[in-house]
Amino acid sequence: MKISKDQLQDHNKKGINQHKESFDFLASSLSKNGIQVDEIITKLADFQVAIPSWALGAGGTRFGRFSYGGEPSTLEEKIDDIGVIHSLTQTAGAISLHIPWDIPKDYNAIKELAHSHNIVFDAVNSNTFQDQKNAKESYKFGSLANVSKAVRDQAIEHNNDVVDIGEKLGSKSITVWLADGSCFPGQNNFQTALQNTQDSLKEIHTHLPNDWKMFIEYKPYEPNFYSTVIQDWGTSFMLANACGEKAFSLVDLGHHLPNTNIEQIVSTLMLKGKLGGFHFNDSKYGDDDITVGCIKPYALFLIFNELVYGMENNKNNPDLAWMIDASHNVKDPLEDLMQSLEAIQDAYAKALLVDQKLLKAAQQDNDVVKCQEIIQNAYRTDVRPLLQQARLARGGAINPIEMYRMLDVRGKLIQKRGENAIATGL
């Protein structure tokens, strides 16, 4: 299903007057405070977040899966769904594939389809946390860290294959997330597991084309519950350094123990030029993968504040790869993704409002109250008119979810694909 320019214009006609009023009011008060509103709008309009190919259907939990009617059952249909989100929000101009869940059959046709929706291929993701059909070796006791060389070799080869697939699509990076670890004390020798992982990652790094990057994603626990080999940013950072200049750390917001200061991690990695990518989601307890900004929007803003500072001051980092890594059981996945995109843009816009010069001066004076005022003034600004303006500038919808519902997109997808179509993924 494609949403036409006419449909978008029609929808926007209804809200345009109200939008103009609130945008003009906000823009003029921001300008009075010396803020370059145009620059912010351009930055927001340019900010594109990849949608993972596994987030377009209902996400299961280990207790069950309730499918959502009209789920995309092929890669083509997944790209079509991202096309819908992108034409409404204008912020989802990329897809991130999980291999082997989504291996293209006809590369040219897939590339053309993505191109017709203005979607590019972002990082490809390898999967050595599940056994694949007909695989010789099993990952039950780990992959890149496994005590068996045959298993490690198979996992390395899989990662290399993923890179080759990504190359054919125009991707420029691979994200490696490992489930490797142990469930019981004594099960693993920590040093052997870490050394094996480092050696395996180095081999994958050697296979990368010159203009490629490798992102090493960390996570404290799950599916292993006693130890995880790449458990935290420090381990990921150390491995990225050991691999070399194409390797970077990737921060997934849900991959931290409760109360971890994620913004400080972001800032450290950026200072050292080793932040490569980001997986957005939100959580209350663990790797809950729920909608971005639904639980801790202030923390998200503080993270963006460090990202904005780093993008300005630490040019030693590559352009960051942004992706939403969220999916669950109870919402229409497309509506949910649009809520996540809005939350990301909201936090980014607020961070762009922070007056960095003033903040630096207040920090220099140790004026703690003023520092907090500067940060919270930005956070408390209702920036939604800026987001709408950025969407309009690119031809998106003033209110994406409202338009999605008005067009009854889900109803049409159910009609076309049926109630019981199931998307590949977890």
Q: Which residues bind Mn ion (CB under 5 A)?
A: 252, 279, 287, 325
> Residue 402 binds which entry of Mn ion, ligand RM4, none, with Cβ cut-offs from 5 to 8 Å by kind?
none
Q: How far is the CB of 97 from ligand RM4 (least distance, A)?
A: 11
Q: Where are the alpha helices (DSSP H) in 250-395?
A: 262-271, 297-313, 333-353, 356-364, 368-379, 384-393
Binding-residue pattern over the window 226 to 265 for ligand RM4, x denoting contact by CB under 6 A: --------------------------x-------------
If the CB atoms of residues 337 and 374 are measured against ligand RM4, the closer one turns out to be 337
If the CB atoms of residues 49 and 386 are measured against ligand RM4, the closer one turns out to be 49
Residue of the chain from 76, 153, 167, 287 that contacts ligand RM4 (CB under 6 A): 287
Contact 224, 182 (CB under 8 A): yes
If the CB atoms of residues 327 and 345 are measured against ligand RM4, the closer one turns out to be 327
If the CB atoms of residues 11 and 172 are measured against ligand RM4, the closer one turns out to be 172
Spell out where 20-132 has E strands. Answer: 50-52, 94-96, 120-121, 124-125
Q: How far is the CB of 229 from ligand RM4 (least distance, A)?
A: 14
Distance of CA 313 to the CA centre of its chain: 22
Contact set for ligand RM4, span 118-157 (CB under 6 A): 125
Sequential DSSP letters for 118-183:
T-EE--EE---SSPPTT-SS--TT-STT-S-HHHHHHHHHHHHHHHHHHHHHT--EEEEE---EES
Q: How far is the CB of 384 from Mn ion (least distance, A)?
A: 28
Q: How far is the CB of 325 from ligand RM4 (least distance, A)?
A: 5
Contact set for ligand RM4, span 209-228 (CB under 6 A): 217, 219
> Residue 422 binds which entry of Mn ion, ligand RM4, none, with Cβ cut-offs from 5 to 8 Å by kind?
none
Q: How far is the CB of 7 from Mn ion (least distance, A)?
A: 34
The answer to the question of residue 177 lying near ligand RM4 (CB under 6 A) is yes
Residue of the chain from 122, 325, 336, 346 that contacts ligand RM4 (CB under 6 A): 325
If the CB atoms of residues 228 and 399 are measured against ligand RM4, the closer one turns out to be 228
The answer to the question of residue 288 lying near ligand RM4 (CB under 6 A) is no
Q: How far is the CB of 321 from Mn ion (least distance, A)?
A: 12
- Residue of minimal Cβ distance to ligand RM4: 177
The answer to the question of residue 86 lying near ligand RM4 (CB under 6 A) is no
Smallest Cα–Cα separation from 355: which of 337, 373, 380? Answer: 373
Contact 8, 402 (CB under 8 A): no
Contact 241, 287 (CB under 8 A): no
Q: List, in sequence order, every residue forming a beta bridge with 175; answer none if it has no partner.
A: 125, 215
- CA pair distance 265, 270, nearest whole angstrom: 9
By rule CB under 6 A, what count of residues binds ligand RM4?
Answer: 9
Q: How far is the CB of 65 from ligand RM4 (least distance, A)?
A: 14
The answer to the question of residue 282 lying near ligand RM4 (CB under 6 A) is no
| Look-up of token digits 């993270």 | 303
Contact 264, 299 (CB under 8 A): no
Q: How far is the CB of 217 from ligand RM4 (least distance, A)?
A: 5
* 206 CB neighbour count, 10 Å cutoff: 12
If the CB atoms of residues 45 and 321 are measured against ligand RM4, the closer one turns out to be 321
> How big is the chain, counted in residues?
426
- CA pair distance 9, 5, nearest whole angstrom: 6
CA atoms within 13 A on the CB side of 234: 1
Residue of the chain from 256, 279, 350, 391 that contacts ligand RM4 (CB under 6 A): 279
Q: Which residues contact 66 (CB under 8 A, 6 or more apart)?
A: 58, 329, 330
Residues that bind ligand RM4 (CB under 6 A): 125, 177, 217, 219, 252, 279, 287, 325, 426
